[in-house]
Structure 1
Amino acid sequence: MEGNEVIPVLENVWEKSTDPLLQSRIENIIDSIQYNYLAGEFQKWAQSQEMDLLQGTILVAKIQYPELNPSPIHEELEKIRRDIWLELNSSLTALEKVKIINHVIFTLHGYKPDTSNYFAPKNYFINTLIETKQGGPIILSLFYAIIAQKLGLPIYCVSLPHNFVLGFKDRYYQKTTDEPAEEKHSILFYINPFNQGSLFSAKEIELFLKQQKIDDELSYYLPCNNKEAILQLIYNASVALQRSNRQNKAILFTRIHDLLSK
């Protein structure tokens, strides 16, 4: 018996023990086993060619839920993907396609933002999103992007300060100048899954940055890569756990974040 397999045995010993010192040592051993296992899994993921977004979100959930069974996640995503696919056809515009996605995810399947407790740790994990049909901005955006990409649609994560949204890329965009700012035109429009998939433009990002007194940067308008998206999810989850006084778990998330950042 090795690695993660020994954790249930250690947890059983912890439950039966009345010795605080022994319990503390067992907690440290479990944390160490979990970290070593997850570090290996995240390193394999980061070294893979595609850095699959779904696999990344499942790994993040496994930091919090080590015995997570991913099958219900795959089944739910496939169900939603199929429901959208049945409504799509090649003659639809990008806008019409997004309206169908919004209808299926938010109306038909009942997913919605959790506005009651923005920093609840459960709002950062794909398994709890599927169980409760509620989540925070980043997990809802990742969920939406995973489904859209399964359908072959060019919808990607955009990491805005204090927010996390999606951009619908123009497949036929071609640069006409070397001006970096021109790249903004490669995005047809933006999607906010935390607001039922509402659409907005680059002008609204400009306004948002001004209101927040944040320096305007090109990266706030363009898709981030999958690794950056998963790093943001891990960071946000660690902050939520700290706010909930779950320091041990928060430390584990921070260690994984530091490892993946290298």
Structure 2
Amino acid sequence: MDFPQSRQPFYNEIQKTPIDLGKAALCIALEEYPGLDIDANLQKLDHYADEVAEQLPKERYPLRVINTLNSYLFETLKFHGNSENYYDPKNSFLNDVLERRVGIPISLSLVYLEIAKRLEFPMVGIGMPGHFIIRPDFEDAGIFVDAYNGGEVLFPEDCERRLSQIYGRPVPLQPEFLEPVSSRQILVRMLTNLKAIYIAQQDISKALAAIERILLLAPDSVLDLRDRGLIYYQSGQAIAASQDLERYLSLRPNAPDASTIQRILERLDS
């Protein structure tokens, strides 16, 4: 694999089964912070979990554990959602989230998941459209936790209302909206957030770095293949652009933009 040295730890982590989500997320930040002390950040999560464990009641009923976690994270430590600067890239770097105690739904959920894992309280991520929540990983648990909103406990009807608030119109709740997502999918979603932020900022080199890491996690992500190919095309890397764009069309021959991509390929061949 030909990629920057700072990406090697991330590549190594995502080859493991299971993926250590917290460590892999910190490895994402290595390209932004080459001197990042990953172990020190993992120890911070260990410390948080130890403090919560001391406060847990003997009977670890799910709601009691969640209430204890919520009290510690959102009242004692003051973790909160960054509504003032939602699109700050720092919201997607776990080390920054731990230091500043502010983040977006997926990064705050990741902190919650990592502490719950250390408490041996199984929880999973739920990748709703436009929002990210978590839930206890018990059969028929029926409750969800919104880490971005102070650990608010939600029921399915609350999730539907939250979707409607996000999109500004009624959004019927589909069963797949509440399906658990894997660690790999969480990492892809975090990198996709960074990709969108960097594209909006016109920071093409960082957008490309995010796309390249997405493709390490999901090699057949067709939109990322297309976007990387377009960046290569814009930067004059004709061979690399052709490879990505040809693969994109082979995977999605009837894509809405297929004719546009084909014209670009013709220019590259001329």
Say yes or no: TM over 0.5. yes
**CA apart distance, 1:46:** 2.7
How high is the TM-score relative to the length of structure 1? 0.75
1:256 partnered with 2:224: no
2:42 to 47, 71, 74: 74
Mapped to 2, the partners of 1:261 and 1:83 lie a distance apart of 36
| Change beyond 3 A, Cα 1:210–1:102 | closer
Mapped to 2, the partners of 1:217 and 1:154 lie a distance apart of 24
Q: Secondary structure at the match of 1:89?
A: coil
2:22 to 40, 54, 58: 54
Mapped to 1, the partners of 2:55 and 2:135 lie a distance apart of 21
Equivalence for 2:104: 136
**CA apart distance, 1:59:** 1.4
Aligned letter for 1:245? Q
Aligned letter for 2:194? A
| Identical counterparts, % of pairs | 21
| Change beyond 3 A, Cα 1:49–1:107 | same
Aligned letter for 1:220? F
1:225 to 182, 191, 203: 182
**CA apart distance, 1:115:** 1.1
2:83 to 95, 112, 115: 115
Q: Secondary structure at the match of 2:181?
A: coil
Unaligned runs of 5+ in 2: 220-270
1:200 partnered with 2:154: yes
Mapped to 1, the partners of 2:99 and 2:11 lie a distance apart of 28
Q: Secondary structure at the match of 1:160?
A: coil
Contact persistence 1:120–1:244 (CA under 8 A): no
| Change beyond 3 A, Cα 1:102–1:49 | same
Q: Secondary structure at the match of 2:180?
A: coil
**CA apart distance, 1:135:** 1.1
Greater RCO structure (CA 8 Å; 6+ sep): 1
Q: Secondary structure at the match of 1:191?
A: strand
Mapped to 1, the partners of 2:118 and 2:215 lie a distance apart of 29
**CA apart distance, 1:200:** 0.4
- Offset from partner CA, 1:31-87 (integer Å, 9 cap, x none): x752x652x444432331111111121111113222211133123212211110001
Contact persistence 2:145–2:151 (CA under 8 A): yes
- Offset from partner CA, 1:178-216 (integer Å, 9 cap, x none): xxxxxxxx3331001111100101122234456646575
Mapped to 1, the partners of 2:58 and 2:25 lie a distance apart of 30
Contact persistence 2:192–2:211 (CA under 8 A): yes
Contact persistence 1:165–1:190 (CA under 8 A): yes
Equivalence for 2:243: none
Mapped to 2, the partners of 1:244 and 1:260 lie a distance apart of 24
Aligned letter for 2:55? E
Mapped to 1, the partners of 2:110 and 2:123 lie a distance apart of 10
**CA apart distance, 1:104:** 0.8
Aligned letter for 1:149? K
Aligned letter for 1:71? D
Q: Secondary structure at the match of 2:34?
A: coil
The CA RMSD over aligned residues, in Å, is 2.2
Contact persistence 1:237–1:253 (CA under 8 A): yes
Alignment of 1:145-160 (within 5 A): 145-160=113-128
Contact persistence 2:57–2:64 (CA under 8 A): no
1:244 to 201, 205, 222: 201
Does 245-254 or 40-49 show the bigger shift? 40-49
| Change beyond 3 A, Cα 1:220–1:63 | farther
Mapped to 1, the partners of 2:173 and 2:78 lie a distance apart of 35
Mapped to 2, the partners of 1:216 and 1:191 lie a distance apart of 17
Q: Secondary structure at the match of 1:163?
A: coil
Contact persistence 2:27–2:38 (CA under 8 A): no
2:92 to 124, 128, 138: 124
Equivalence for 1:191: 145
